Amino acid sequence: MHGKELKRITRQELEDHLKGKLKNKYIMQPFIECKTKSGLAYDFRLHVQKNENKKWVIALIYPRINGDGKLTSNISSGGFRGELTSFLDQEFGQESPQVVQLLQNFALSFSEHLDQIYNCSFDELGIDVGIDVNRKLWIYEVNWRPGSKHREFEVAKQMIPYAMSLHAN
């Protein structure tokens, strides 16, 4: 390995080493096994927006699937956007309706929760989540104004009435 010897250490030695290196506190998430039946990493983008009544609605939900064997499914890193219904049918079979319900309920309740704990006006969020082998949902990342190059028209249709409702007040 580039002239360096590989050394095995115990978990405790690793923890002691990291304590000396890390000055700030961090949250570490466990490795989440989120793969298709064919072994490709995937996640879901839950794209929510506020409507003209200033209520959260689901703009889009779609799977992002990695096509080249990497651990992440980012579209910018070689992943691709799948179609939700066919993906769920293929991967979850008869459980598909329950998975849709889980994703929809989580997207809306999480967005409402953010509104309650932060004193700012989010109008659009992209929530990236995975579902592990035990059907537990995990948050990977949350983006404000996530953009959706594939569905800009649908996203804009929701954004315009919301913007007009802000102007009316």
* DSSP string for 104-142: HHHHHHHHHHHHHHSSS---EEEEEEEE-TT--EEEEEE
Indicate the SS3 state at residue 81.
strand
Residue 165 is given by DSSP the state H
Residue 94 is given by DSSP the state G
Domains recognised in the chain with CATH numbers: 34-168 (3.30.470.20)
pLDDT tens, 23-69? 777 777 788 888 999 989 999 999 999 998 989 999 999 999 987 66
- Confirm if 31 and 1 have CB atoms less than 8 A apart: no
pLDDT tens, 95-108? 999 999 999 999 99
| Cβ-Cβ contacts under 8 Å for 67 (sequence gap 6 or more) | 40, 78, 79, 80
d(CA 91, CA 10): 38
What is the chain's alpha carbon radius of gyration, rounded to the nearest angstrom? 20
Location of structure tokens 């304590």 = 19
- Confirm if 122 and 111 have CB atoms less than 8 A apart: yes
pTM greater than the 0.85 cutoff? no
